[in-house]
Amino acid sequence: MYCYQCEETLNGTACTKNGVCGKKADVADLQDDLIYVLKSIAFYNSKARANGLNDTKTDEFILDGLFATVTNTNFSKADIERYINEGFVIKDGIKKKLMDAKVINEKSGSSFPRWIKEKLLGASPNAGEDIPVMAKVTPQTLASIDTGVLATENEDIRSLRELLIYGLKGMAAYAHHANILGYKDENIIAFIEKALLATMDDEMGVDELVPLVLECGSVGVTTLALLDKANTTTYGNPEPTAVNIGVRGNPGILISGHDLRDLEQLLEQTRGTGVDVYTHGEMLPANSYPAFKEYDNFVGNYGGSWWKQKEEFEKFNGPILMTTNCIVPPKDTYIDRIYTTGVVGFDGVTHINASEDGGKDFSAIIEQAKTCKAPEQLEEGTIMGGFAHVSALSVADKIVDAVKAGHIKKFVVMAGCDGRHKERSYYTDFAEALPQDSVILTAGCAKYRYNKLALGDIGGIPRVIDAGQCNDCYSLVVIAQKLAEAFGLEDINDLPVVYNIAWYEQKAVLVLLALLSLGVKNIMLGPTLPAFVSPNVLNVLVDNFNIRPNSTVEEDLKVLL
């Protein structure tokens, strides 16, 4: 095991025995194997796509396989083994199709040919082309292949390959959510295949990988825009909402993660049953969607961000549905109340599968809820949310006037993720120390470090503008672009907007790459820099984008303001 994909990696270097997140070494190794199998599928499927022979099942499998390896998503050995086995079946199926159509033949390939740059990235692959060794992997040969991160010896190439793969994992997660709602874009999958293959091409050097990493960011923007469209077209545009954080006396179900379709189905099935529904973690922004406000049993949000779940799930008393990451290995005291769905998995926890049409039967969860006590109250009152781009821009004039009048001097983007390490209290301290004439723009679970502080408002504009889930960082980009327009600026870097971003897992890596691809400069990143970014790759990021690590609240306030 060698995993360094998240911010909490051991000693800021790598988890090599068991993960800090709770991932076991055997599962980590299997996840590496799964990524390798996905790369081999990418070879065949990119050819199938170029020849009109691909199918949506394979596209979905690629997304799900990548998503399952995102931090805190799937801890189940059996699940990852199942993905690998299914991957081989899918790969053999496409290979047969391609051979039948004479797109490829069975000549033995001893090296990795230059088809990535010369053929795959350009015109359609030629008929009768050789198959590279990596694509010939079988369940029998997989065990003898080093699929781990360290298989790439050169530190900088390894760094760029992993940066790319982590960006792809984030992209896959967001594309998966859009897909579930029927919003698909084949170009996203085609890019994922191209990039997966690029990480296997020993002839691709730093100069070729850097542009691909930035392309990952710009396809990331496309993916975030697609998910935004999927969510808002299906459930309406989020509207400014005071979300209840207290509880009622009925038994409840807690739903966590990012999947709005799961929430919709749960609300539909619990309607009239006497069981209440509460959001947790990244599901909080769902309270601001018009479609969900229709349900009388949708009460509000319970608790804080993902890493507090051990304590809070205990007190919730009822069943909990995990629709995506972040799941923390559950304690024995409540493991019988945890359910997973989608790509989430944990051994010993009941998993709810979808039927062919995406429908899910949550009756077992509802029945269990009826036997449970009501949730224990953790706090009371409300928190404001729902400032996605449409609602935020509806008050754009007011915001522009406040800036022109000097009432707002800076917007501070503090989006991203929360985490369990003590040093993250920095973000609470930073939010509190910001001058009264600054406004925080946020999205993602990072907000839990300051969204319950009494930071007040500026002439009716709240000092924390919460756009929603981490994917709603897209909204922040739209808001910044519209503000630039309103001020007649050509470069968004000329806006009074600064960035102090907190990252944790691979979706945040994609969001960061998306911002870079849009030309955003001077991003401050913390609480630590990614372990997978080598000193030379960091230099590239510093030279081109002036990315910098955060330090102390005092220092950073000086630098940013």
Name the site residues for ligand FSO (rule: CB under 6 A): 281-282, 306, 325-326, 417, 444-445, 469-470, 504-505, 507-508
Task: Tell me the backbone φ, ψ of residue 546, rounded to 5 degrees.
Answer: 55, 40
| Of positions 20, 133, 396, 400, contacts ligand SF4 by CB under 6 A | 20
Residue number with CB closer to ligand SF4 (6 or 120): 6
Q: Is 506 in the site for ligand SF4 (CB under 6 A)?
A: no
Q: Is 4 in the site for ligand SF4 (CB under 6 A)?
A: yes
Smallest distance, ligand FSO to C-beta of residue 171, A: 12
Separation of alpha carbons 26 and 28, rounded Å? 5
Residue type, 451: N
Residue number with CB closer to ligand FSO (215 or 418): 418
Residue number with CB closer to ligand SF4 (8 or 262): 8
Task: Tell me the backbone φ, ψ of residue 254, rounded to 5 degrees.
Answer: -105, 130
CA 101 to chain centroid, in Å, comes to 37
Smallest distance, ligand FSO to C-beta of residue 210, A: 24
Q: How big is the site for ligand SF4, counted in residues (CB under 6 A)?
A: 13
Q: How many residues does the chain have?
A: 561
Smallest distance, ligand SF4 to C-beta of residue 169, A: 11
Smallest distance, ligand SF4 to C-beta of residue 328, A: 11
What is each CA distance from 343 to 63, 73, 79, 125, 516, in whole angstroms?
A: 10, 7, 9, 32, 29
SS3 category, 510: helix
What is each CA distance from 47 to 34, 91, 137, 260, 326, in whole angstroms?
A: 20, 12, 17, 33, 35
Smallest distance, ligand FSO to C-beta of residue 397, A: 31
Residue number with CB closer to ligand FSO (22 or 93): 22
Residue number with CB closer to ligand SF4 (3 or 383): 3
CA 538 to chain centroid, in Å, comes to 22
Answer yes or no: are the C-beta atoms of 179 and 62 closer than 8 Å.
no
- Which residues does 233 contact at the CB level (< 8 Å), separation at least 6? 183
Q: Is 9 in the site for ligand SF4 (CB under 6 A)?
A: yes
Residue number with CB closer to ligand SF4 (112 or 307): 307
Q: Is 6 in the site for ligand SF4 (CB under 6 A)?
A: yes
Smallest distance, ligand FSO to C-beta of residue 452, A: 17
SS3 category, 135: helix
Show the beta-strand stretches assigned E in 215-369. Answer: 241-244, 252-256, 276-280, 298-301, 320-322, 338-341, 350-352
Angle between helices 473-486 and 396-404 (to 10 degrees): 60
Smallest distance, ligand FSO to C-beta of residue 172, A: 13
Q: Which one of the spans 14-22, 300-308, 402-410, 479-487 is the region binding ligand SF4 (CB under 6 A)?
A: 14-22
Q: Which does 9 bind (CB under 5 to 8 A by kind): ligand FSO, ligand SF4, none?
A: ligand SF4
Q: Is 5 in the site for ligand SF4 (CB under 6 A)?
A: yes
Q: Which does 414 bind (CB under 5 to 8 A by kind): ligand SF4, ligand FSO, none?
A: none
Cα Rg for the chain, rounded, in angstroms? 23
**Would strands 457-458 and 438-442 be described as parallel, antiparallel, or unpaired?**
unpaired
Assess whether the previous peptide bond of 319 is cis (omega < 30° from 0).
Answer: no
Q: Which does 23 bind (CB under 5 to 8 A by kind): ligand FSO, ligand SF4, none?
A: ligand SF4
Residue number with CB closer to ligand FSO (338 or 508): 508
User: Binding to ligand SF4 (CB under 6 A): which residues in 71-90?
Assistant: 71
Counting DSSP H helices and E strands in the chain, the numbers are 19, 16
Interacting residue ranges for ligand SF4, rule: CB under 6 A: 3-6, 8-9, 15, 19-21, 23, 28, 71
